[in-house]
Amino acid sequence: MKKILGCSLLFISQLVLAETPNTVLSKSIDKAMLTSFAPTGTLRVGINLGNPVLAGSIDQSAPQPKGVTIDIAHEIGRRSGLPVELVSFKSAGATVEALKANQLDLIFVAIDPVRGADISYTPAYIQIEGAYMVKTSSPIQSNEEVDAAGNEIVVGNASAYDLYLKREIKKATLLRSINSQSVVDDFMSGKGNVAAGVKQQLEADSKRYSNVRMLPGRFMVIHQAMGVPKSRAEFEKITLYLSNLVAELKTSGFIANSMKKHGIEGAKVAE
């Protein structure tokens, strides 16, 4: 297996060959665009294991990660004729940095204007919710009460929620955990008085503790999309190709079926 530098890297999966051989590419695909899209000849796809809506962490019984993003990555490989290499990270921020360093060709990430300086996005394929968790004894009862002087919000460093809250929070203080998976454990160990993150992640983590509760509703809607580096010569054509693919995968039911297969709840196919 190839190695990519970076402490955030968990592993590089075994090379997954697309079902369509490289020699049988569709005539409708621009070969110059494909060369720009995957300059090494292999489509290197960043997988964020920090968001359970997108991908599930691996275990000994499942040497490959599973999830909606993995299904989409394989479908891109099948249609384009490119072999796909899945590269897994603990956080979205780590995938963004790897993309900017030209270690990846494609990532699945929340649409954010800050990241957009370097990343060209497709339209969203999934919408998920950002939510807050507090301890049972907390006086905070609603999302609107969180942004108050003295409150400290624990959030995964460089996550979509971190970027959003950095812009929106005016009075409370943000405390960063190393990644989204660490937020609740840090929170329960005494860091901050509010935890923020993917609603599904917080709900799953809450089952490990008896003295926490979710605040009702959501504080943001996250639009998950595919992103490619703007540094590529053909990035506009690549984005258009992927955008058309996203539209087809949504209307055909591919994404909805993938979500159902992986038991994803609390998220929906983007409109």
Whole domain around residue 115: which residue ranges?
9-126+224-269
Report the alpha-carbon distance of residue 242 to residue 44 in Å, rounded. Answer: 15
Enter the DSSP assignment of 271: -
pLDDT for res 64: 72
Phi/psi for 119 (5° steps) reads -120, 135
- Give the pLDDT confidence of 140-164 residue by residue, as tens digits: 999 999 999 999 999 998 887 888 8
Give domain status of residue 3, yes or no.
no
- Same-domain status, 233 and 250: yes
Q: Is pLDDT of 51 > 90?
A: no
- Same-domain status, 175 and 55: no
- Same-domain status, 112 and 228: yes
- Same-domain status, 229 and 119: yes
pLDDT for res 21: 38
Q: What is the mean pLDDT of residues 18-45?
A: 74
DSSP assignment of 88-118: EESSHHHHHHHHHTTS-SEEEEE--TTGGGT
- Same-domain status, 85 and 179: no
- Same-domain status, 121 and 170: no
How many structural domains does the chain have?
Answer: 2
- Give the pLDDT confidence of 188-225 residue by residue, as tens digits: 999 999 999 988 788 888 889 989 999 999 998 889 99
- Same-domain status, 76 and 101: yes
Mean pLDDT across the chain: 86
- Same-domain status, 238 and 159: no
* Residue where the block lists tokens 């090494």: 40
Q: Is pLDDT of 174 > 90?
A: yes
- Same-domain status, 241 and 122: yes
- Same-domain status, 140 and 202: yes
Give domain status of residue 76, yes or no.
yes
Give domain status of residue 89, yes or no.
yes
From the DSSP assignment, how many helices (H) and strands (E) are in the chain? 8, 12
Of 69, 227, 50, 225, the C-alpha closest to 155 is 50
Least confident segment among 56-70, 120-134, 252-266:
56-70
pLDDT for res 57: 56
- Same-domain status, 35 and 76: yes
Report the alpha-carbon distance of residue 63 to residue 165 in Å, rounded. Answer: 35
DSSP assignment of 136-181: TT-S--SGGGTSSTT-EEEEETTSHHHHHHHHH-SSSEEEEESSGG
3-class secondary-structure state, position 254: helix
pLDDT for res 16: 42
Give domain status of residue 2, yes or no.
no
Residue 165 sits in a domain whose CATH number is 3.40.190.10
- Same-domain status, 114 and 53: yes
Q: What is the dihedral of CA 134, 135, 136, 138, to 10 degrees?
A: -70
Give domain status of residue 196, yes or no.
yes
* Residue where the block lists tokens 């005539």: 27
Task: Output 64 or 227, whichever has higher pLDDT.
Answer: 227
Q: Is pLDDT of 186 > 70?
A: yes
pLDDT for res 153: 98
pLDDT for res 160: 79
pLDDT for res 62: 52
For residue 182, what are its two tokens? 């660490």
pLDDT for res 115: 81
Q: What is the mean pLDDT of residues 50-69?
A: 71
Q: What is the mean pLDDT of residues 27-51?
A: 89
